[in-house]
Amino acid sequence: MIDWKVRARLLVQRLVDAGVLDENWRDAFENTPRHVFVPRFYRPDMTVLDGSDPREREEWLAAVYSDDSLTTQYAQVSGTDLMWPTSSSTKPSLMARMLGLLDAHPGHRVLEIGTGTGYHTALLCHRLGDRNAVSIDIDPDLVAAARARLAELDRHPLLVSGDGGQPIPDAAPFDRIIATCAVPAVPPAWIGQLRDGGVIVTDLRGELASNLTVLHKTSPATVQGRFQAIPGHFMWLRPQADNPLRDGNAIAVAVDRDHATQRPTRLDPGVLDHPDLRFLLQLHDPAIGAIWRTVRSATELLCVHSQDGAWAEVDVTGQHGRYSVTQGGSRQIWTQIEHTAALWSRLGQPRADRFGLTATIHYQLLWLDHPDSEHTWRLPSQPDPGR
């Protein structure tokens, strides 16, 4: 007999002590067995921890009732040796925070984008009732497994296999929408399926930064709200079940080193480790696809690559406050980074929660401090499926 209720109560107490669990959701977390939905998962070294193996039972239970995200599925990126995660059971403290931000109450009908293991769906069912919980996932195998696990607990919500960025026929409208996946912009279908006064909680992210945002429906075609100083780092909402990439294509950037230039910079490359600067940088330069560090010829470099072929490498050691920059490709990308860092400093190094978003079915505008700010950025929005 698994002593899961004792473990669940201990986990809940940790969430309460951390101040992340709304009291309204306490009963759901205490009485929903997470182990039913995560019978096995991958350790960080990619080995599988299987709860059905008596030798691994204690390690498995301890992990399942810890405050950790557990990766449950990987897929290979076509044409590469890369294995990317495509499903997980989200960290319980992040689930608790998102459910608190969702502000859902009995009687509210909730759409969940990203069924995954089904554990989050079970939490919704416990508090709101099966008829008020609807969940969609691109992977039909995940949906089938979640349906079976929910049925073990006599839970029977509406589960749908399909693209979470598209409408669900005959299921709308919804009072709340919660996405346990990341999007670069709010899909217009979410706005169209949401009741007036409804709430969306999602992870709006780019390649450099990730933050939860809470949006309220202010008109039939508009939602508006603010970012939270809470990173989500969810897997992308993607259109293909068998492809882990959000756009269906592997990222391949050709680096042209034949026409590289070198110059000094006074911008400390270490500042790019700051998540709030990264948040602003991806607004100014959404083509930047990766920032990382490497060592070459005993020199530590900070590397920046863009999807349009621009690149820069900066010696992080520097001398007397000056650092050597080598850059090339389609444009001088480090110059853009310097300008963005200077703006970030002039604005008082704003955190992500000073930013907000106005999203309509036609355009999406991100702003600093208030919607009428002089500092705004247009986000690429997805096409309205009804047009």
Give the lowest-confidence range in 71-85, 281-295, 304-318, 339-353. Answer: 71-85
Q: Compute the distance between CA of residue 206 and CA of residue 362 in angstroms, rounded to an integer.
A: 20
* DSSP H helical ranges for 219-270: none
**For 39-52, what is each residue's pLDDT tens digit?**
999 999 999 999 99
Band (pLDDT 50/70/90 cuts) for residue 81 is confident
Pairing of β 83-89 and β 70-76: antiparallel
Band (pLDDT 50/70/90 cuts) for residue 386 is very low
Give the lowest-confidence range in 1-5, 86-90, 245-249. Answer: 245-249
Band (pLDDT 50/70/90 cuts) for residue 385 is very low
**For 298-333, what is each residue's pLDDT tens digit?**
999 999 999 888 999 999 998 899 999 999 998 999
All structural domains of the chain: 75-227 (3.40.50.150), 261-346 (3.30.160)
Q: Which amino acid is at 234?
A: F
- In the numeric block, the tokens 């909730």 are attached to 110
φ, ψ (nearest 5 deg) of residue 268? -65, 120
φ, ψ (nearest 5 deg) of residue 223? -125, 150
Torsion angle of the four alpha carbons 39, 156, 107, 18, in this order, in degrees rounded to the nearest 10: 0
* Nearest-5° Cα angle at 354, 236 to 69: 35
Contacts by residues 329-337 (CB-CB < 8 Å, ≥ 24 positions apart): 329/255, 329/256, 330/306, 331/306, 332/261, 333/285, 333/288, 333/304, 333/306, 334/265, 334/267, 334/304, 336/284, 336/285, 337/267, 337/272, 337/281, 337/285, 337/304, 337/312
Task: Report the run of H or E that residue 192 belongs to, with start and end.
Answer: helix 188-193
Q: Compute the distance between CA of residue 361 and CA of residue 190 in angstroms, rounded to an integer.
A: 9
